[in-house]
Chain A
Amino acid sequence: MNDPANATREVLWNIHYPWIMYALLVPTTVVAVYGFYRRIRLWRKGSSENRLDQPLKRVGLVLRHAVLQLRTWRRAYPGTFHAMIFWGFVVLFIATVVVMLDYDFGIPIMRGRFYLYFQSLFVDICGMLAIIGILMAGWRRWVVRPPHLIYNAESTAILLVIFTILVSGFLVEGWRIAATDDPWAAWSPFGNLVALGSSRVMSAEAMLAAHRFTWWTHLVLVFGLIAWAPFTKMAHVVNSTLNIYTARLAPVGANLRRLDFEHDEKLGIDALAGFTWKDRLDFDACTECGRCTAVCPANRVGKILSPRDIILDLQHRMHAGGDDTESFVGATPALSSEAMWQCTTCAACVEACPVAIEQFPKIIDTRRYLVMEDAEFPDTMQQALASLETRGHPMRGTSFTRVDWAEGLDVATMADVKESEVLLWVGCGGALVERNQKIVRALAQLLEKAGVKFAILGREEKCTGDPARRIGNEFLFETLVQENVATLDRYGVKKIVTSCPHCFNTLANEYPEWGGRYEVYHHSEFLEKLVAEGKLSGRLPTDRQVTFHDPCYLGRHNGVYDAPRQLVQIATGKAPTEMQQNRSNGFCCGGGGGMSFVDEPPNQRVNQERARQALATGADVVAVGCPFCTTMLEDGINATKGEREVEVMDVAELLWQAVEESSHATSPKPSTP
């Protein structure tokens, strides 16, 4: 009798009319299927987009982000309880399938050691972990109350329902154990606790009645949840998995779509009708976790931009079933044009989203509409674009030409040399802003010192089009791309080095779509390579503390995090002190997406917030790798540093200083008489 090999339990013990359960399964399934059908019908209204290529890669994404939930884990507390609840329910679901196979299909697997180790002990532990997970979630939702969550009845109800399902499961198990005097009780420790407790206070009859009642309650709640879930944010179990499977495979920096100026009826998007099925799936995949808004730099400094609410408001609009061609701009605060003009396109939202929603590209879609169809956008951005159109650069009022920075250096232009191993793409931010000319000078001197044969386009260089594209003037962007590609191809350029991550991203990720295929390096990568090859060396003698600020278009957009840090290490002899928000979680300088051409309200400046984070490290030098970050952070630091001496330096400047210092140190000293 007590041979573990025979261990099992009676299924549907104490339950009369079990056919009712099977009968209830039909409407449950019908309602649940209808719930998803409703959503799928809405997604299918979107225009086409290919997101089904490379299935193996996509399965990998699902494994990493839906099964292992690597992004959810990035926040430890919610990551932990989410995993406890998720895995708890997955195991409980498997246990239910085991029961079904055994009882309904007559496959005798719920037996013996498998019954004891898995079906009893493991399932019991997982059920308890899920309960603890729900309590942790409840603690966060009702006690800690972080501001980026949405507090509504649905969320409360979902937590209460799944909590009740689990507790009722343990009660049912406990009363069965007690009433049947289950010899394997010890293998269900938590159920057994219920059994031990109940047998002290309840009669056998009471337990039988309570068991029956609670079993049916448990069943109704489970079936109810299955039927109801597709209509709630619980649908994310399916929607988010699909969304992860259909995520963009290219780097974040390459995720803006090309327009068809000949055929597009409307340029950009201002109404649901403009979105693809994937955008619509994005809206539905949202779990309301609020991580995107929590990391949004604009939101952090008190602006109204909230990527979460953009997605959710569009989701509500999609479900409200109104006219899909009606403009959403201004329909809610999150969808106002004011919010659209606060985005720095830093991609922190995209990076933070555990379910692969692409928030900021939708902002760009809307900007495109506002700029190209409405011609309504901030004056200073208009001036930048007007300058871009007339002069090929957005730096209105600059007193510099594209070659002034090289005065006194022996820098050749492509027009002079016709061909060159490397093209140094200087960029408007490097050539036309006095502060940043020092960066390009340092870089040019480093290249020269390392013996790299390079040339610049000089006056033939034009803006890559990055600000035009991010501000939303795709037409101007395309014009600039075509002009630049023609120039680059005329000189047969193959390898490009640039000190501007915006130029880098556009040249590397966006130009190929217009036929411009080059080997593009950010200067930090190129310089790191030169150091590794032994062509550059040096060390600063000072003991200055250096921190490094990740430029969004280098880090998040392109995944380059190590090369610039390596340069800091080489130049100073030690790794940079990290700010609290670093690498993929780095905080924007406030200058991307055309925002460096906008005057922010004095109390809502992203650069000052980042400057405070940099100052908090106690560093004497804030190292950067982007001309826009340099000017934004320098302004921010000067406004917040008080009496401290803090310098903002590009990694190229740091390295050049180190190289120079070392060459002075090794050159023979004049002998003293």
Chain B
Amino acid sequence: MNIVVCLKQILDPEIPARDFKVHSEKREAEQGGANLVTNIFCENALETALQARDAHSGKITALSCGPDGAEDVLRKALALRVDEAILVVNEADSNPDPLFVARTLAAAIRKHGDVDVVLVGREAGDWGAGQTGGLLAEELGLPCISFAESYEPGSTAGTVKVKRQTDAGYEVMEVTTPVVLTITNHDQNVPRIPKTRDVMQSYRKPLEKWPLSDLDIDPATAHDYYQVAELFIPQKEVQCELVEGDTLEAKIEAFAGRIAEVIQSM
């Protein structure tokens, strides 16, 4: 089974809140002191792929698109022993919209060749749009199952059985391949850590880099789908007011009156 796992590099979402700043003109987050990491749901997707390969064999290709530095997430995937890694290099825009990303990934997957299962994280920890998986399926003309937590070969050849989370519990469905799955986190797909030997060797493994032009993608279309109109960190304000009154009843009276005023003014 040929598995493609799409990985996104994002700013570390676990930096202290007070360190988080946005650039209101560029309408994107400032890197500041934050490091770049692999999006956690992408790591869950990779873990799901690794488990599927451990159990039923197969070949895993890790795929990412982003600036040259996004190589890091692929090296980490190589350290976990994915079979090959491809980076679509896009230095032009560090923050394209999900449709652009989906088109880029779709073009790369087509170029790469046969695929049975494409795994994508359910959403990224930076923007949290959660659209890339669905759009990618659309671009590839494939079925998409969202919020999947695991999959295994189906009852007949050319199908997979997918377990997906719902609000009430879970659903198991069988689907013909190729298929796109968006993977959510689950206690069974907690990312494993690499062996040090594999980390050391990951830097010596081949990693393909394809420029956008190879895929006939025009960087100018990076925001055709939507644009961020405004980006700011909401300011929380706390105002403290003491309600006066001679007796307890008077205080309660004044308190209730003041609440009513505040509600009306909102």
Contacts and interface: CB of A to CB of B under 8 A. Distances in A.
Interface of A: 261, 267, 371-375, 379, 382, 385-387, 390-391, 396-401, 404, 459, 473-475
Contact of A401 (B12, B18, B37, B196): B18
Q: Which 6 residue pairs of A and B lie closest in terms of their CB atoms, listed nearest first?
A: A372-B196, A475-B196, A375-B195, A399-B16, A375-B193, A390-B35
A375 B18 CA distance: 34
Given A399-B17, A401-B18, A459-B33, A473 B196 contact: yes
B230 interface: no
7 contacts: A267-B196, A372-B195, A379-B190, A387-B14, A391-B35, A474-B196, A475-B196
B34 to A, nearest CB: 9
Contact of A397 (B12, B14, B18, B197): B14
Contact of A382 (B17, B35, B193): B193
Contact of B200 (A261, A387, A400): A261
User: Main SS of the interface on chain B?
Assistant: loop
A30 to B, nearest CB: 48
A400 B16 contact: yes
A401 B194 contact: no
A372 B197 contact: yes
Interface string B183-205: 00000001011111101100000
A62 to B, nearest CB: 39
A500 B108 CA distance: 50
Contacts of B12: 390-391
A428 B126 CA distance: 26
B14 A391 contact: yes
A390 B12 CA distance: 8
Given A372-B197, A375-B194, 11 more contacts: A267-B197, A371-B196, A374-B195, A379-B190, A382-B193, A385-B193, A390-B35, A391-B35, A401-B18, A404-B18, A475-B196
Contacts of B193: 375, 382, 385-386
Contact of A390 (B18, B37, B196, B197): B37
Given A267-B197, A375-B194, A401 B33 contact: yes
Interface string B31-48: 001010100000000000
A386 B190 CA distance: 13
B19 interface: yes
Most-contacted residue by chain B among A374, A396, A475 (CB, 10 A): A475
B59 to A, nearest CB: 22
Contacts of A390: 12, 35, 37
Interface of B: 12, 14-19, 33, 35, 37, 190, 192-197, 199-200
Nearest to B37: A390
A396 B16 CA distance: 10
A404 B14 CA distance: 16
Contacts of A375: 192-195
A399 B20 CA distance: 11
A371 B194 CA distance: 9
Most-contacted residue by chain B among A261, A396, A401 (CB, 10 A): A401
Contacts of A385: 193
A396 B199 CA distance: 22
Contacts of B17: 399
Nearest to A432: B16
A243 to B, nearest CB: 31
Nearest to B36: A390
Contacts of A267: 196-197
Contacts of B196: 267, 371-373, 473-475
B80 to A, nearest CB: 10
B18 A373 contact: no
B253 to A, nearest CB: 41
B16 A475 contact: no
B50 to A, nearest CB: 12
Nearest to B194: A375
A400 B35 CA distance: 15
B90 to A, nearest CB: 23
Contacts of B33: 401, 459
Nearest to B199: A475
A237 B197 CA distance: 42
A475 B197 CA distance: 9
Contacts of B194: 375
Contacts of B35: 390-391
Nearest to B191: A386
Nearest to A458: B33
Given A391-B35, A401-B19, A373 B197 contact: yes
Most-contacted residue by chain B among A386, A391, A459 (CB, 10 A): A391
Contacts of A372: 195-197
A220 B194 CA distance: 62
B14 to A, nearest CB: 7
B36 to A, nearest CB: 9
A267 B197 CA distance: 8
B188 to A, nearest CB: 13
A474 B194 CA distance: 14
A398 B197 CA distance: 30
Contacts of B195: 372-375
B213 to A, nearest CB: 32
A391 B197 CA distance: 22
Contact of B14 (A379, A382, A396, A475): A396
A372 B194 CA distance: 8
A375 B37 CA distance: 20
A401 B18 CA distance: 8
A375 B81 CA distance: 13
Nearest to A372: B196
B31 to A, nearest CB: 13
A154 to B, nearest CB: 42
A673 B19 CA distance: 50
Contacts of A386: 193
A399 B19 CA distance: 9
Contact of B16 (A379, A401, A473, A474): A401
